[in-house]
């Protein structure tokens, strides 16, 4: 009985290895990649981002050479976002009044793209920050791959509550089918909204953010538009190119943000991938259960075996998190707490989506809808 149980847990554990087998990163920039910045317009949607914008704008100014233009789209900010942007030398574009049927971000991105002069568009969230030479690396990947290039920023955490994002990051990346052994045989199921690069020609051909104007997780829906049109979508890890610190304003912002990002549920994931993610998560749940039961003198595994299973998941999660961000050392050993938080917020997201029919973000209510073939799903951004 013990051997059968250990075999089952081994298969669950291996499912996690399969889902995040290899995270491809941007290759080192070539000598001629730097020239690409001269044809690139950077579009930054910003709503009340006076605290985060300085780091991004400073990192853009430090790129050699700097991009052709930097457009900060002020989306009805109530703080000094516009002043901060102008002071740093960026061009401020007023998004104006939000039209019905649009989310704030899709409208800001669409407005910025319309104002851009460069043939290449790089959409960056205000909380991102480029590494030295990072822009050249990202633009080089786009020139090589074409279509839509999406980079998941390396997730930097500074305060313990930010470690609660761990499972959200892992599950979002698993659901894209961009990092398993079959990644070269199929298109990803989404993209990373904080960092997107495309030509303006391709962007307009697929309808741009106007075509996904009402989607809660617009990056996933936009990627579907590229794939449906026959244009490639590439998802890459951001280590060495771009990083961000998500939800620095506190736990309430973190809950609200992840509730929004997971509002579409698992609709973007392929059915098989959804099952595999569920299998892996069930293993993550079982491991501490076995250990607790064995410590109390019961359970289906002896204490040594239960401890081994738990340790295996701790090591695996540390391996995963080490490739997608910089989380505290206690995150993996104490992962049951982080997992419990993930499950509660995920349940909250499903409840708000299918019962209330809306979520909130940055003071706005956003209508949700059941996921469809091009609907929203788990995403980051």
Cα–Cα distance measured from residue 244 to residue 25, given in angstroms and rounded to the nearest whole number:
16
Report the pLDDT value the prediction gives residue 313, as an integer from 0 to 100: 98
121 confidence band (pLDDT: 50, 70, 90) = very high
Annotate 225-261 with DSSP letters as a single string: HHHHTT--EEEEE-TTTEEE---TT-HHHHHHHHHHH
CATH number at residue 52: 3.90.550.10
Cα–Cα distance measured from residue 350 to residue 259, given in angstroms and rounded to the nearest whole number:
8
Cα–Cα distance measured from residue 93 to residue 43, given in angstroms and rounded to the nearest whole number:
10
Phi, psi for residue 358 in degrees, rounded to 5: -160, 155
Residues 86 and 193 reside in one and the same domain: yes
Cα–Cα distance measured from residue 212 to residue 106, given in angstroms and rounded to the nearest whole number:
7
Number of structural domains in the chain: 2
Residues 283 and 217 reside in one and the same domain: no
Residue appearing with tokens 């052709």:
68
CA-wise closest residue to 37 among 65, 1, 2: 65
Q: Is residue 94 included in any domain, yes or no?
A: yes
Chain-centroid distance, C-alpha 116: 24
| CA atoms within a 13 Å half-sphere pointing along the CA-CB vector of 124 | 33
Q: Which residues contact residue 104 at a Cβ distance below 8 angstroms, ignoring those fewer than 6 apart?
A: 45, 47, 75, 76, 95, 98, 361, 362, 364
6 confidence band (pLDDT: 50, 70, 90) = very high
Residues 244 and 272 reside in one and the same domain: no
Expressed as residue numbers, the domain containing 277 is 2-20+268-367
Tokens coding 110: 């669409």
- Element containing residue 37 per DSSP (H, E): none
Residues 41 and 94 reside in one and the same domain: yes
What share of the chain in percent tops pLDDT 70?
Answer: 94
Q: Is residue 253 included in any domain, yes or no?
A: no
Residues 244 and 291 reside in one and the same domain: no
Q: Is the pLDDT of residue 374 over 50?
A: no
Residues 47 and 108 reside in one and the same domain: yes
Residues 77 and 183 reside in one and the same domain: yes
Specify the DSSP class assigned to residue 27: P
1 confidence band (pLDDT: 50, 70, 90) = low
At 151-176, the pLDDT tens digits run 999 999 999 999 999 999 999 999 99
Residues 65 and 127 reside in one and the same domain: yes
Q: Which residues contact residue 322 at a Cβ distance below 8 angstroms, ignoring those fewer than 6 apart?
A: none
Q: Is the pLDDT of residue 339 over 60?
A: yes
Report the pLDDT value the prediction gives residue 380, as an integer from 0 to 100: 41
Residues 36 and 92 reside in one and the same domain: yes
Contact status, residue 273 vs residue 186, Cβ threshold 8 Å: no
Q: Is residue 307 included in any domain, yes or no?
A: yes
Q: Which residues contact residue 51 at a Cβ distance below 8 angstroms, ignoring those fewer than 6 apart?
A: 248
Report the pLDDT value the prediction gives residue 264, as an integer from 0 to 100: 58
At 55-93, the pLDDT tens digits run 999 999 999 889 999 999 999 999 999 999 999 999 999
29 confidence band (pLDDT: 50, 70, 90) = confident
What share of the chain in percent tops pLDDT 90?
Answer: 78
Q: Is the pLDDT of residue 228 over 90?
A: yes
370 confidence band (pLDDT: 50, 70, 90) = very low
Nearest 10 degrees: Cα torsion 108, 113, 118, 123: 50
Report the pLDDT value the prediction gives residue 357, as an integer from 0 to 100: 75
Q: Is residue 57 included in any domain, yes or no?
A: yes
Q: Is the dihedral of CA 195, 201, 202, 207 positive or negative?
A: positive
Report the pLDDT value the prediction gives residue 330, as an integer from 0 to 100: 95
- Element containing residue 65 per DSSP (H, E): none
Chain-centroid distance, C-alpha 226: 18
Classify strands 233-237 and 40-46 as parallel, antiparallel or unpaired.
Answer: unpaired
Collapse the DSSP code of 326 into the 3-class scheme (helix H, G, I; strand E, B; otherwise coil) and give the result: strand
Tokens coding 159: 């305060």
| Per-residue exposure over 261-287, b if at least 16 CB sit within 10 Å of its own CB, e if not | bbbbbbbbbeeebbebbebbbebbebb
Report the pLDDT value the prediction gives residue 361, as an integer from 0 to 100: 72
Out of 142-151, 213-222, 236-245, pick the least confident. Answer: 213-222
Domain boundary, last residue among 214, 248, 282 = 248
Residues 11 and 51 reside in one and the same domain: no
Q: Is residue 255 included in any domain, yes or no?
A: no
Report the pLDDT value the prediction gives residue 263, as an integer from 0 to 100: 62
| 262-283 average pLDDT score | 82
Q: Which residues contact residue 213 at a Cβ distance below 8 angstroms, ignoring those fewer than 6 apart?
A: 101, 102, 103, 106, 107, 110
Out of 71-85, 90-104, 260-274, pick the least confident. Answer: 260-274
Q: Is the pLDDT of residue 379 over 80?
A: no
At 319-333, the pLDDT tens digits run 999 999 999 999 999
Report the pLDDT value the prediction gives residue 321, as an integer from 0 to 100: 97
Report the pLDDT value the prediction gives residue 371, as an integer from 0 to 100: 40
Q: In what order do the strands lie in the sheet with 128-130?
A: 128-130, 242-244, 154-156, 325-326
Report the pLDDT value the prediction gives residue 241, as an integer from 0 to 100: 97
Q: Is residue 263 included in any domain, yes or no?
A: no
Out of 121-130, 300-309, 311-320, pick the least confident. Answer: 300-309
Report the pLDDT value the prediction gives residue 351, as an integer from 0 to 100: 84
Mean pLDDT score across all residues of the chain: 91
Collapse the DSSP code of 199 into the 3-class scheme (helix H, G, I; strand E, B; otherwise coil) and give the result: strand
- Cβ atoms < 10 Å from Cβ of 334: 13
Q: Is the pLDDT of residue 134 over 70?
A: yes
Q: Is residue 355 included in any domain, yes or no?
A: yes
- Element containing residue 302 per DSSP (H, E): none
Tokens coding 278: 């569920």
Q: Is residue 345 included in any domain, yes or no?
A: yes
Out of 51-55, 233-237, 306-310, 362-366, pick the least confident. Answer: 362-366
Residues 83 and 152 reside in one and the same domain: yes
Cα–Cα distance measured from residue 107 to residue 164, given in angstroms and rounded to the nearest whole number:
30
Residues 107 and 143 reside in one and the same domain: yes
At 8-28, the pLDDT tens digits run 999 999 999 999 999 999 999
Cα–Cα distance measured from residue 173 to residue 227, given in angstroms and rounded to the nearest whole number:
18
């Amino acid at each position: 009985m013990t051997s059968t149980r250990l075999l089952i847990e081994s298969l669950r554990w291996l499912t996690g290895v399969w889902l995040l087998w290899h995270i491809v990163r941007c290759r080192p920039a070539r000598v001629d990649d730097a020239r690409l910045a001269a044809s690139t317009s950077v579009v930054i949607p910003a709503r009340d981002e006076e605290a985060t914008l300085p780091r991004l704008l400073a990192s853009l100014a430090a790129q050699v050479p700097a991009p052709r233009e930097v457009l900060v789209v002020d989306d009805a900010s109530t703080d000094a976002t516009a002043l901060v942007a102008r002071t740093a030398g960026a061009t401020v574009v007023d998004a104006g009044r939000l039209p019905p049927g649009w989310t704030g971000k899709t409208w800001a991105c669409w407005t910025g793209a319309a104002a851009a002069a460069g043939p290449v568009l790089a959409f960056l969230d205000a909380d991102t920050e480029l590494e030295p030479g990072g822009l050249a690396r990202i633009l080089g990947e786009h020139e090589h791959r074409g279509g839509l290039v999406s980079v998941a920023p390396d997730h930097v955490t500074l305060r313990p509550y930010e470690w609660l994002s761990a499972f959200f990051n892992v599950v979002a990346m698993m659901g894209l089918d961009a990092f398993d052994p079959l990644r070269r045989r199929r298109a990803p199921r989404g993209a990373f909204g904080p960092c997107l690069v495309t030509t303006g020609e391709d962007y307009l051909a697929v309808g741009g953010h106007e075509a996904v104007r009402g989607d809660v997780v617009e990056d996933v829906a936009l990627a579907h538009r590229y794939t449906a049109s026959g244009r490639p979508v590439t998802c890459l890890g951001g280590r060495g190119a771009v990083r961000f610190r998500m939800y620095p304003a506190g736990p309430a912002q973190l809950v609200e943000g992840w509730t929004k990002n997971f509002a579409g549920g698992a609709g973007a994931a392929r059915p098989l991938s959804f099952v595999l993610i569920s299998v892996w998560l069930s293993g993550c749940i079982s491991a501490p259960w076995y250990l607790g039961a064995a410590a109390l003198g019961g359970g289906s595994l002896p204490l040594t075996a239960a401890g081994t299973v738990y340790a295996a998941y701790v090591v695996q999660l540390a391996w995963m998190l080490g490739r997608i961000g910089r989380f505290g050392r206690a995150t993996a050993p104490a992962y049951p707490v982080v997992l419990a938080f993930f499950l509660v917020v995920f349940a909250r997201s499903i409840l708000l989506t299918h019962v209330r029919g809306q979520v909130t973000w940055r003071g706005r209510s956003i209508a949700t809808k059941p996921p469809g073939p091009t609907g929203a799903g788990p995403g980051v951004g």
